[in-house]
């Protein structure tokens, strides 16, 4: 019998505790970034102290953002994340805009990047994939897209994880928790076993590289933070599913803080083992840095095991984003602030099946873009909207009945001010020194504004009138 879909009265269910929510944070953060970012940093910064310090700066920014989002999530314990916060703070236009960016960039593009990272690690076993001529290439050189074996492998993973998420969330959460635990175990094993038994060299920590970037180092540090924003993105993951979290006032702050701290520790340890395995100069040309480091430390035999494990670990990264994204679109569509298809829930699984399927299709299309440009584009765009979201705290804290969290109040307004200042710094140097991804990001924002004006605005006004009439 065909499955029925409805917009009413089926609703989301509070069923996730601290462990599952924190697992989503960890899985969403530990994605493509840590598996591919350090080689880009090695070429752009070319300094061991700078490469290590930028990961610490990124961790601090992520933790500051996580504390700020905790307070927002406790006060608005419903699905949607930034959409809910910005709608309440600035109005429906900004609410739609953040949902639009989440759909295109925060999830669809990020899913594509993680899937491409998976394909890069898989190519360790089939190197001909990476070197094979693409089946299809089109567009001007500066905006060229390709379709080849790497893109097909990425699309296969996206398709498989999309089908998994058509099940109920409790089932998906079990799958997610398993693969997140597996991923963390693999990465910590690489660190511990690498230092204990690996064939590394401490002299690598004193060996800088030849810079591939001509951008002044201060500006380059800011631009490189876009890569870090992509790597650390996901520290706010649990807020997107707040409507399905048990006791959100207790669960959300713990999940966000624990998840972020665990990932920050893991990232720094991984960068230490990467440097122990090879010098920065060699790292510049090693995109799949995890498998490359494993080869140096243990030889090709053991490296094959680690590489396969890291490829499998990327399952959880892709899956976590496929879990979270559709909940944002669902929350928006309920208020007619997004396309109507996103409001449909399965009566059997209570999952937003249409959103899951459309998101998967868009992510597959995005895999055709160059990985480095994609990662920079994601980081720059998300940075803009997280800054705007953190700034909303200054508006909300003036409202009566607002619940203040001790973790935020302890250093308020230092946490939000520092986050905003760093974000504006990155935005400025992104626009001036990396114009291509920055201008594409701004173009996407303007496109979202046009979609709102032409399609969504009237839809929302009609919904508001119908609700008012029903109230009367």
pLDDT digits (tens, 9 = 90+) for 288-318: 788 889 999 999 888 888 888 878 777 777 8
Q: Is residue 459 part of a domain?
A: no
Q: Which pLDDT belongs to residue 192?
A: 94
- Does residue 457 lie in a domain region? no
Report the chain's mean pLDDT, rounded to a whole number: 82
For residue 467, is it within any domain?
Answer: no
- Token duo for residue 135: 């089946």
pTM of the model: 0.77
> Residue 469 falls within a domain, yes or no?
no
> Of 356, 397, 255, 318, which is closest to residue 5 (Cα–Cα)?
356
**Mapping DSSP to helix (H, G, I), strand (E, B) and coil, where does residue 1 land?**
coil
CATH code for the domain of 33: 1.20.1740.10
User: Contact, 22 vs 261, CB < 8 A?
Assistant: no
Q: How far apart are alpha carbons 298 and 291 in whole angstroms?
A: 10
Q: How far apart are CA 158 and CA 116, in angstroms?
A: 10
Q: Which long-range contacts (CB under 8 A, 24 or more apart) does 428-432 make?
A: 428/222, 429/219, 429/222, 429/223, 430/222, 430/223, 430/226, 430/380, 430/383, 432/219
How many Å apart are CA 183 and CA 306, to the nearest integer? 11
Place of tokens 């800011």: 222
Rounded Cα distance, 14 and 17, in Å: 9
- Sort residue 86 into left (φ over 0), alpha (ψ -120 to 50) or beta: alpha
CA distances to 41, 51, 69, 93, 273 from 461, rounded to whole Å, are 47, 50, 29, 12, 55
> What integer pLDDT is reported at residue 409 of this predicted model?
74
Q: Give the pLDDT score at 193.
A: 93
Residue numbers of the domain that contains 210: 5-442
DSSP string, 200-267: --GGGGG--------S-HHHHHHHHHHHHHHHHTTTTHHHHTGGGBSSHHHHHHHHHHHHHHHHHHHH
How far is C-alpha 275 from the chain's CA centre? Answer: 25
Q: How far apart are CA 326 and CA 319, in angstroms?
A: 12
* 92-101 helix and 300-334 helix, angle to the nearest 10 degrees: 150
Identify the pLDDT of residue 140.
63
**Count of structural domains within the chain:** 1
**Residue 352 DSSP code:** -
CA distance linking residue 449 with residue 456, whole number of Å: 10
The verdict on residue 450 lying in a domain is: no
Cα–chain-centroid distance for residue 184? 17
User: For position 53, what pLDDT does the model report?
Assistant: 94
At residue 8, the pLDDT reads 45
Query: How many H helices and E strands in the chain?
Result: 22, 4
pLDDT under 70 in the chain at which residues? 1-16, 28, 31-32, 79-80, 139-143, 237-245, 463-464, 467-472
Q: Is residue 451 part of a domain?
A: no
Whole-number Å distance between alpha carbons of 102 and 297: 39
User: Among 345, 342, 346, which Cα is nearest to 329's?
Assistant: 342
**pLDDT tens digit sequence for 236-268:** 766 666 666 677 777 777 887 888 888 889 899
77 located within any domain: yes
Rounded CA-CA distance 180/164 in Å is 15
In a domain, 56, yes or no: yes
- Give the pLDDT of residue 391: 94
């Amino acid at each position: 019998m065909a499955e029925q879909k409805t917009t009413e009265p089926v609703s989301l269910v509070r069923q996730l505790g601290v462990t599952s929510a924190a697992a989503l944070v960890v899985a969403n953060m530990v994605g493509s970034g840590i598996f591919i970012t350090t080689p880009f940093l090695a070429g752009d910064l070319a300094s061991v102290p700078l490469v290590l310090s930028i990961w610490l700066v990124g961790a601090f920014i992520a933790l500051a953002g996580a504390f700020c989002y905790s307070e927002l999530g406790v006060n608005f314990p419903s699905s949607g994340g930034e959409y809910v916060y910005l709608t309440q703070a600035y109005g429906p236009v900004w609410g739609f805009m953040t949902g639009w960016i989440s759909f295109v960039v925060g999830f669809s593009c990020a899913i594509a990047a993680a899937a491409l990272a998976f394909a890069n690690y898989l190519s360790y076993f089939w190197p001909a994939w990476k070197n094979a001529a693409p089946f299809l290439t089109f567009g001007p050189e500066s905006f060229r897209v390709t379709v080849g074996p790497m893109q097909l492998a990425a699309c296969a993973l996206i398709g498989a994880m999309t089908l998994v998420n058509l099940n109920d969330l409790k089932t998906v959460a079990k799958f997610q928790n398993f693969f997140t635990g597996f991923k963390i175990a693999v990465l910590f094993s690489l660190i511990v076993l690498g230092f204990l038994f690996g064939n590394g060299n401490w002299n690598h920590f004193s060996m800088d590289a030849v810079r591939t970037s001509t951008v002044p180092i201060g500006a380059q540090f800011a631009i490189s933070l876009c890569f870090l924003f992509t790597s650390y993105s996901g520290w706010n993951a649990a807020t997107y599913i707040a409507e399905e979290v048990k006791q959100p006032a207790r669960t959300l702050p713990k999940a966000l803080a624990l998840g972020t701290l665990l990932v920050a520790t893991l990232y720094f340890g991984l960068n230490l083992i990467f440097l122990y395995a090879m010098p920065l100069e060699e790292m510049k040309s090693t995109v799949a840095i995890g498998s490359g480091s494993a080869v140096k430390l243990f030889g090709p035999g053991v490296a094959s095991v680690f590489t396969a494990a890291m490829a499998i670990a990327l399952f959880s990264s892709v899956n976590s984003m496929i879990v979270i994204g559709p909940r944002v679109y669902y929350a928006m569509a309920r208020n007619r602030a997004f396309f109507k298809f996103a409001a449909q829930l399965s009566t059997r699984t209570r999952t937003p099946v249409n959103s899951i399927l459309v998101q998967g299709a868009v992510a597959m299309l995005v895999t055709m873009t160059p990985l480095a440009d994609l990662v920079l584009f994601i980081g720059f765009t998300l940075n803009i909207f997280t800054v705007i979201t953190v700034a909303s705290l200054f508006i909300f804290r003036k409202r009566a009945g607002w619940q203040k969290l001790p973790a935020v109040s302890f250093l308020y307004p230092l946490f939000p001010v520092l986050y905003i200042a760093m974000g504006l710094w990155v935005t400025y140097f992104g626009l001036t020194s990396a114009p291509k991804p920055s201008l594409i990001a701004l173009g996407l924002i303007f496109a979202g504004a046009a979609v709102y004006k032409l399609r969504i605005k009237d839809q929302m006004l009609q919904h508001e009138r119908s609700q008012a009439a029903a109230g009367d």
